[in-house]
Structure 1
Amino acid sequence: MSGAGVLNAAALASIEADLAATDELLEKGYPGDDGRRQPIHTAYVPADRFTPELPAAWGAAALAKAGGVSGLATLAEKLGLSQPGELAELVAAKLEREPIEDLRLDFEDGYGDPGDDIEDAAVIKAAQLVTQAVADGTAPPFIGIRFKCFEAPTRARGLRTLDLFVSTLARAGELPAGLVLTLPKVTTIAQVKAMVFVCEQLEAAHGLPAGRLRFEVQMETPQLILAADGTVPSAALIHAGKGRVSSLHYGTYDYSASLGIAAAYQSMEHPAADYAKNVMQVAIAGTGVHMSDGSTNILPLGDAEQVEAAWALHARLVRRHLERGIYQGWDLHENQLATRYLATYAFYREGFAAAALRLRNYVHRIESAIMDEPATAKALANFIRRGLICGALTAEEITSQAEISLTTLEAIALARATQTEDSNA
């Protein structure tokens, strides 16, 4: 019996032709993680309250509210987090070094409608202050604005705010590397396409490189989960965005209200919220687009009992979305920074030893009771890499316990190599 196969060159060519469109879709529509940093949170402030000193002021206030390093350790203990002293030291250092990772100056719900003249002046001032903060080194790694949505009543105002902000930044020099633009209350793909057009016009007007302006889509309406024709716009809009959609953000309260959920039950953990976020999570898979959970409006304010209850809720919600593979959320108040970082750092530190051991065994081909495949190794590396970027883990811990270089960690996390330098050591 001959060992030759039956598929000849003509058959292969026919299959190649049939799958050419699939190949193009996978290459362009699902390029995977591009390696850019994802902030662990977005802090939200009314635009007219921003100053270059605000991030440092938030960090100092958060640390003081928690009671310094010892207070952070006590809070970590009350939250049931392991290694409270170690966590407290790391979080205190974070609050001093980089208290806010992503800051959104809000010209939408948190700002209101003071009239065109007042908003125009506020937008120009905000852009000038952002430019100053970037030049002074006081700006967070990511910073930008949320302007009013593209629904008919607010469309012209939202476009004018966006235009003034970007134009003022561009005239001052190079745009901030971490510039973020947030398009809220999106209901249709047409609104995303309109935003793409606006970005193209602004780039052309200011001599910016094509594709320089990207934007977040804030998912606050049920029409993005299920459209009138039965399709799922939250998936389609990513591809309609022509590579400009950087992230999808869940809007807790607008979305909940649009479904008729009573105010007392509007929450990031409501079953309706989980359903929406599950759809969003599937929509972004493989696209390189990030995703963020929403916020809680139960703030750590009031008497000691109220503050501790709010901290406990916030920490639990942060841990909840991290466990579900959503690595970012929104914070509305400086007092939420303590639990944002405590809960996030605990998540990475508690899971680090097991992840490092499994990754070490995978890279060095050490036999163990768990046989991890490349996809799982990628997830392990991504977990460790995220912990490193936010400050929960140190480079020394990673290279020591996982016995790999940071270059290899990056290669596995981003699927940039099938063989690593460490596996050949």
Structure 2
Amino acid sequence: MSRSRQEQVATSVPGAVGAEIGASLAPVDAELERRYPGDPGTRQPVHTVYVPGDAFTAGTLRSWGDRALAALDEHAPDAVSFAAAVGMDPALAGDVYGRVRAKLEREPVEDLRVDFEDGYGNRPDPEEDETAARTARLIAEAYRDGAAAPYMGIRMKCMEAAVRDRGIRTLDIFLTGLAEAGPLPDGLVLTLPKVTYAEQVTAMARLLDAFEEARGLEPGRLGFEIQIETSQAVLAADGTATVARMIQAAEGRATGLHYGTFDYSACLGVSAAHQASDHPAADHAKAVMQVAAAGTGVRVSDGSTNVLPVGPTPQVHAAWRLHHGLTRRVLARAYYQGWDMHPGHLPTRYAAVFAFYRESFEQAAARLARYAARTPGDAMDEPATARALAGHLLRGLDCGALDPAEVARAAGLTRAGLEGFASPHRGHSEGRPG
């Protein structure tokens, strides 16, 4: 509308009122931008694999892939037997099974966390010092040689008094070793476990500040995941959601909230037989985490199952069905990442993830294509839905469930176009195909 046309339209509120409102809300605008920047638009791994520090070697990643493939060969050597074992739709079985095997050969682990906490235990200081230094060397070599997982890092001991100094020293040794080997890898991930108070998160942020200053790194270069394993991390003594405070206490460094199935369940008194990611207590904790993290750019991860797919084939199949079902369940609840504790979990992790994206692919791509072209259809989608559709397709591409060519063909969008819809606040033009 031209200015002359605007001047002909009658209004009643003086222009100064709008200016006054804008000035009064400027601090709120800034606060919204600071606290809720939206999703970072980077790849989120579908899982995190935990390996004790003393067990981690240069061959760990390939070993996990080979052991997972061997489990398939022994217990489900073809698509039909695998689909029957896990309860998968037979119509998807051939494609999914082939993609699972290809994934295990190409990229068996998406995110590896070398564990210095529960999986490692308390060791003599010289031993943990040496393990931390060796871990840094092996991870640096893996990134240098192109053999690394997309994401790699460590889980240190927590900030509780009994192990605080040990955790700080291990993290320092690890990060120093990485920094001396060359630039820190983009896929570096750090995990702070057993957090109960926001002040412990602030302490972790302060520790990383000090390391960046000592090494001459850009402020804020290092981020970390917060592990939610205690009741105090979800609900504070005053009844507020502690986890929301923790995100702010990280001062922009928090990258994820990871649910700890067994520590959290035990903290609430759940008996061992019922400690699982589908327990009502787990659903409540993850829902609080999800709401606290929404819009902040912090991702939420589910925990793990401790039922291992080992032993005779019927026992392996039972464990696979359980893991496959739990993975599908949390994907539907928008928790796109979980933990895997055994190589035998990899086939069902990837099978559940791939089937989740493939069975909804055609509909999601068609809806986004109609939205991008402003074509009427059987759903009236809004920008928020377009963001969700684009994000869904991008996650499918990242993990290998979908291929770029088929997505471009069905959605009419390149990856850049999908990213424009998924993260319009990051400078893309929403509604414009790429």
Normalising by structure 2, we get a TM-score of: 0.94
Partner of residue 80, structure 1: 88
CA contact (8 A) 1:186 1:217 kept: yes
Aligned length: 421
Amino acid at match of 2:47: H
Structure 1, unpaired ranges of 5+ = none
Pair 1:131–1:309, CA change in 2 (3 A): same
Corresponding position: 1:41 with 2:47: yes
Pair 1:177–1:47, CA change in 2 (3 A): same
CA contact (8 A) 2:372 2:433 kept: no
- Matched residues in 1 for 2:11 and 2:232: separation? 51
CA contact (8 A) 1:55 1:100 kept: yes
Give secondary structure in 1 for the equivalent of 2:185: coil
Partner of residue 202, structure 1: 211
- Matched residues in 1 for 2:267 and 2:431: separation? 49
Partner of residue 274, structure 1: 283
Amino acid at match of 2:78: G
- Matched residues in 1 for 2:329 and 2:294: separation? 19
Q: Equivalences for 1:104-119 in 2 at 5 Å?
A: 104-119=113-128
Match of 1:25 among 28, 31, 42: 31
Q: Equivalences for 1:378-393 in 2 at 5 Å?
A: 378-393=387-402
Partner of residue 56, structure 2: 50
Q: Identity across aligned pairs (percent)?
A: 52
- Matched residues in 2 for 1:121 and 1:290: separation? 32
What are the superposed Cα offsets for residues 260-300 of structure 1, whole Å, 9 maximum, x if unpaired? 11010111000000000000000111111111000000010
Normalising by structure 1, we get a TM-score of: 0.96
CA contact (8 A) 1:76 1:87 kept: no
- Matched residues in 1 for 2:22 and 2:389: separation? 34
Corresponding position: 1:12 with 2:14: no
Amino acid at match of 1:14: E
Amino acid at match of 1:315: H
What are the superposed Cα offsets for residues 171-228 of structure 1, whole Å, 9 maximum, x if unpaired? 1211121111100000011000000100000011111111111100000011111111
Amino acid at match of 1:379: A
**Once the 2 structures are TM-superposed, how far is the Cα of residue 72 of structure 1 from its aligned partner?**
4.9
Q: Equivalences for 1:216-365 in 2 at 5 Å?
A: 216-365=225-374
Q: Point out the more displaced range, 52-61 or 275-284.
A: 52-61
- Matched residues in 2 for 1:248 and 1:52: separation? 28
Q: CA RMSD in A?
A: 1.4
Amino acid at match of 2:432: T
CA contact (8 A) 2:412 2:433 kept: no
Q: Equivalences for 1:171-210 in 2 at 5 Å?
A: 171-210=180-219
- Matched residues in 1 for 2:313 and 2:77: separation? 17
**Once the 2 structures are TM-superposed, how far is the Cα of residue 73 of structure 1 from its aligned partner?**
4.7
Q: Point out the more displaced range, 222-231 or 65-74.
A: 65-74
- Matched residues in 2 for 1:398 and 1:70: separation? 29
Give secondary structure in 2 for the equivalent of 1:224: helix
Match of 1:396 among 373, 392, 405: 405
Corresponding position: 1:419 with 2:431: yes
- Matched residues in 2 for 1:266 and 1:235: separation? 25
Partner of residue 63, structure 1: 69
Partner of residue 149, structure 1: 158
**Once the 2 structures are TM-superposed, how far is the Cα of residue 401 of structure 1 from its aligned partner?**
1.3
**Once the 2 structures are TM-superposed, how far is the Cα of residue 129 of structure 1 from its aligned partner?**
1.1
Partner of residue 102, structure 1: 111
- Matched residues in 2 for 1:72 and 1:419: separation? 40
What are the superposed Cα offsets for residues 302-339 of structure 1, whole Å, 9 maximum, x if unpaired? 22111110000000011111000010000000110000
- Matched residues in 1 for 2:79 and 2:193: separation? 35
